Every structure is written in C-alpha cells, then in structure tokens.
Structure 1
C-alpha cells in the first residue's frame, strides 16, 4: 500500500494518522487487485489533497463510530440493497411536490455522508437512514462516484430546489458539489471513490462514464441554466475551472503509440497518467466504450482548442479503423457470430501497440480469444460494445465544423 504520510505538514498529522489507519483497513477489505505504485509528488498541492481526503475520511468514520458506540452495537447496521437506488432518477416535476416525493427526498438527504456524497447499490426509497446504520451497503467504498452515485443525487437535489425552493436541498447540493471539487486530483482527474480508499479505486476512472458524469454536471452548473439557476456565481466559476481542468487531464491521458494519438484506457494511474489495470479481468488496455463516451463529451465543448480538436479526430479515426464489421455477439456466445446485417461493434479492450482485442479472467491472465476465458467471466461481462456507432455519427457532423488542420 502506498504511504503518503511522510509528505504531510505537521498540522495535518491528526487527519493523516486517522486516514492512514482507515486506508490500511480499506486495503484489506478491498479486492487486493491493482494498486497504484507511484509515489505522490512532494508538492504542496498534493500534500493538501491527501490531507483533505484524510480529513473527510476521518469525519465519515468517526460519525459512524460514535453512533455505533452510543447504541452499544458491535458494528454498523446495513441498509437495504438495491440494483441502483430504488427511485426514478428523472421523475416528473409534480413528483417533487407530492408527499411521496418529499418522503423519498428526505431519505436521500439522510444517506448523504458527512463528507457530502452517497453510496451505490443502496435502496433510498424505503426508510430514513437510522443512527448506527451505514451510509450504504458497500461500507468500505462510501462515498463513491461509481454507478452514477452522487451525481444522480445532486441532479435530483437541484431539481428539487428549483421546484420547491426549499433551502435544505440547496445546502445539501452545495456540500455534494464541494466534495466533487475536493476529489479532483491536482492533475485534473478523479478517483472512483472519495475520500480515497486505496487500491485501483484511486486510479483516474473513466470506467462506466464516471468522469464524464462528473464533468457534465460541472458544465451544467457552470452555465447556471434551468435547475442550476440558483447556484452562486462563485460556485459556477469553481465548476467551470474544475471542468476545464478535467479537459486538460483527458487530453494528457489519451494514449500515444508510435507518435500517434489513439484512445483512452478505462482507468489511468493517478500519477504517471498511463493506462493501467483495475480488477483482474480489466487489464491495462485501450478501452473502446469509455473512449467513445469521452469523445462524446469532448465534442460538446464550445470553442475547442487545437489540441482538443486533434484529440477528437485521432480518437474517432481509431474507432473507425478498429470497428468489427459483419459480426455479432451475445453473452452466451463462445465466439463472434457472422451476421452481414449487424451494426459495427468493438471489443471492450484492445492491446496497446497492436490494437488486438484482448480478454481477461479472474486470475489476471490475458487472452486473445474470448473462448479461452472462463465461462463465468465470458457470460458476466460485456466484452463487445456498439456505442461507437452513435459517436461516429456525431463525429461526422462535428468534423465539418472543426476540420483537422495540417
């Protein structure tokens, strides 16, 4: 496990020591899979970042510990599990004024952590969080931005405030946005979980649209339109600065091979910015699904600079050059099946340098054929995707407006 304490200013030692112990605990509780091995730079901005993460981690942990102790419990009670959150993330406006809407919004507020975020896979529709109850079912990974967590709740809070004008929603919203701002690495990326928990969760995470979701929320806040009209000029300015910093990270992490820009990995090391692995079956690679989503985000940027324009053209070219034509796949298939009418698809992961499709297994082995991996992983993961098609359609229109200059 990486140790950051040696870089901290003495005034942060209280938070650092608590954070270190928590990180040690989380690393044991985590999967034991890929960890960042690169040391945190010895700079004031990284010192401050780690200290703030430790501060929030200590606050979250001590809050639960105090409640558990007061109730004479041995461990925190677990809330109910849900595939997502149990509620409709895009309800009609009338719902927020209804008794049911007020009830569910109160539950959502009760599950906001002291640090300002939310968990995933936790039902937020049945009961208010009780004292001594964990803030989510995956207690070692709370709060998180994974699986649309935190961004979904913040979007609901913004709508709730714009419709009901209740101050409590605005206050909770601002706390959550501040967590996102605090979570952004000095280089512009975001981890999967914040406060930091160690392991692959600390990597810059493009997987499952995590950073795309964060940046779209920040962009919308910066514009101050619709449900975000209540936000202050100060918060909008912070959101815009964070969004632009995120853009710089995306440009810097685009993988270059043989002097040519390609696409992105699903996650990148938070220090070296190189593509890296996460879970054992998610190997270091070029990731087509995440890259298509990033291109979609980049093409929405107003007044893109020359580097961003070059990045989009290069990424779209890579997708177009590596699409699989005349084949289809479902999770019950051992191999691709011929189908002349099928839309183009892409393998989820490609080997860097060769652009060959690769497939991973629980034992960290990497294969060039999906037939070689275990049945559990073959059927339990989306090894081929098709979302590059819409992105390439969007690119053709975008490229007319922003042609690549020699």
Structure 2
C-alpha cells in the first residue's frame, strides 16, 4: 500500500539558484508566443496558397520512420539525401520538428501538417529535433549540400531560444502549456539537448561546420544548461540524490506530469544524464560532486533477485528470480527511495501488480540503465577525483 512520506518532512528541495528576473521570463514567454504565431501564420498562408480548405494529415509512425543512427557509409548514398530532404520539408518555420511523424516516405506537400500532433510542434520529446539534427549534420558532412547545414543551424538556434533563463529546457517550444512547460528530463530530453549543445559549442563532429558565432552562443548555452543540472539535482536532508522526470520551471522542484507519472526520482533519465556528464573532459568540482552523488545513490538503491519480464500471456510482470539484477524502479519515492508506480486514475502504488494491466504493459516501470554508471564510474573517478 502506498503511504507517501510527507514532503515537508524530507527537507527535499532543488538547490537554491539566482532566480531569473521577471523581465527575462517575460521576454522568454513573449518570444515563445511570437514563434508560435509565426509557425501558424506561415502554415496558414501555405494552406491558402495550396488552395486547400483543410490541411492534409501527416503520416504517423512510432518514431520517425528512418534509422536515426545508420553506419557512416549510408550517408554517402542517395537515400540519405532523400531522407534529409524529407526531414527538411517537415522543419517548422521556428526551426524544430514534431514527433511520431513518418519522415521516410515523401517530402511534405504544401498544405500538409508539419506533424501528427499539432500541439507538439516543435518538441524535444522522444528524441524529436535532436534526432533530425544529427541526421542532417551527418548527411551534410558527406554531401556538402548547404541546405542541410542551414537546417541544422536553424534547429540549434531554436534549442537555444527554447532554453529557460535558468538554463533548463521545456518539453515543447514554443510553449504549449501544462506539464510540457516543465523542465523535462523525462525520455532523456535534457540529456539529448545537452549533447547537441556541447557538440555545437566545441564544433565537434558531426557539428564541426557550424559558424564560430553560433558555437560561441552554444558555449554560453551549455554552461547555463550544466548549471540547471546542478540546480535541479534533488537534495534530501542535505544530500544530493538524482533528478526528477520533470521540474517546475520557476522553483526547480520535482513535479509530476501525467496522472500515472508521480513526483519521484527518475532513474533511467538520471542514468542517461550521468553517462553523458561522465564524458566531459574537464568537469568542475561541483559537477564531480554531482556525478559522484548520483553514482552513490544508484549503488545504494539497486534491486537484486527481481526481473521485469513478460509472462506466458505477454504481460509485464515483476517476478522474483535468484541471480537477476540489478534493476531499479523507473520512479523512486523521494526520501524512502522505494520504487513507485502510477495509474491513469492518479493513484500511486508501491506494488506494480496493483495497477491496471494497461499501464503495467504500457510503461517501462523498471530499468537496468544505472548499471552502466556503476560499471563506468571506477574508471571515471580514477581519472577525475
């Protein structure tokens, strides 16, 4: 049975940071509105010019329809350029991309929607925008076709525009409201954005072609992003832990998103983030402390003798299995560190078998991603500590 620990008893909060001025936040929101209006105006004009009364729907798919990370040889083929041109056709006027839209079939037609979920245009969710950047960059490096580089630079500019004054990123930008406006680690959004900005800041392959001016802007953006990482690392009783799936954009406190996603520490996303942070050449002392604290939390909260697997009917179950593990709960209660799961009615449980079968089968409630941190940490600590 789930009995939440009183939040006020945890002494849990994000580390204090200098609050962004009201003027900076107001300017940020005004920019969001301006870009949203531009996207809509450009599309409305395109729809009128096409002579269509209703827009054509975009083709749906689970991700994007193309292989996001093919071998280098593929980018010397005509098919790579074909996909790159389709990707460009779905780039919004503001510079990003939607998710769940098939970008492998044919270029978007005039008057066709820019994505299957219009309220998610553009988004950083599920690898959207960052995936397209990497693909276009790798295609440009083999073809030297200017429009691919231009598409990449437009998208990087959007990412920097989308960054909150405190350094974090929302799930969608322009802002669309609700949990989409929270600083989002869920589905690795922050981690994926930081990887792009770090490569841009250092003009590192495959982004070595971007302009020095954009690289300088990316350096500042990356520094702000790392500060946001430090400021949002959840602290309990004065001790750093890991990160939430979402954090409020103003207070930086962890917060829930959809009804089945409770306020909690997010292990998979935190592991992906730490994996990236451990690749940085010269981490600051503060960042070293953050990485070490996250490692210690992972080490202290691993589960052994349990397996998250399919039963004979194909349903997800958590079963006892000698020798299995380690695994971690996808979400862990702040304070107790117990795995917690949620259902569509907003209820929260300690036992995954208590929630509906639909949610048990439809969400990754357990993960083994932190195992990579435990494996790589000794080499990292020997180098940096």
Q: 1:386 aligns with which of 336, 361, 368?
A: 368
Query: Normalization by structure 1: what TM-score?
Result: 0.86
Q: Distance in 1 between matches of 2:310 and 2:22?
A: 47
Q: 2:239 aligns with which of 255, 260, 264?
A: 260
Q: State the SS of the aligned residue for 1:357.
A: coil
C-alpha deviation, 1:41, in angstroms: 6.5
Q: Are the aligned partners of 1:334 and 1:370 in contact in 2 as well (CA < 8 Å)?
A: no
Q: Are the aligned partners of 2:316 and 2:361 in contact in 1 as well (CA < 8 Å)?
A: no
Question: Are positions 1:228 and 2:213 aligned together?
Answer: no
Report what 1:313 is aligned to.
292
Q: State the SS of the aligned residue for 2:218.
A: helix
Report what 2:43 is aligned to.
64
Aligned CA RMSD, in angstroms, stands at 1.7
Report what 1:87 is aligned to.
66
Report what 1:30 is aligned to.
none
Q: Distance in 2 between matches of 1:391 and 1:42?
A: 37
C-alpha deviation, 1:331, in angstroms: 4.8
Q: Distance in 2 between matches of 1:117 and 1:306?
A: 34
C-alpha deviation, 1:73, in angstroms: 3.9
Question: Are positions 1:177 and 2:156 aligned together?
Answer: yes
| Number of matched pairs | 364
Question: Are positions 1:149 and 2:128 aligned together?
Answer: yes
Structure 1 residue ranges without an equivalent (≥5): 1-39
Report what 1:374 is aligned to.
356
Structure-to-structure mapping, 1:6-405, within 5 angstroms: 43-71=22-50, 73-332=52-311, 336-403=318-385
Deviations 1:236-267 (A, max 9, x none): 11112111111100111011111111111011
Q: Distance in 2 between matches of 1:119 and 1:385?
A: 27
Per mean C-alpha deviation after superposition, the further-off stretch among 126-135 and 83-92 is 83-92
Q: Which has the higher contact order (CA 8 A, sep 6+)?
A: 2
Q: Distance in 1 between matches of 2:344 and 2:157?
A: 36
Cα gap change, 1:390 to 1:335, in 2 (>3 Å)? same
Query: Normalization by structure 2: what TM-score?
Result: 0.90
Q: Are the aligned partners of 2:81 and 2:139 in contact in 1 as well (CA < 8 Å)?
A: no
Q: State the SS of the aligned residue for 1:377.
A: helix
C-alpha deviation, 1:101, in angstroms: 2.6
Deviations 1:112-154 (A, max 9, x none): 1000011111111112111111101111111111111111111
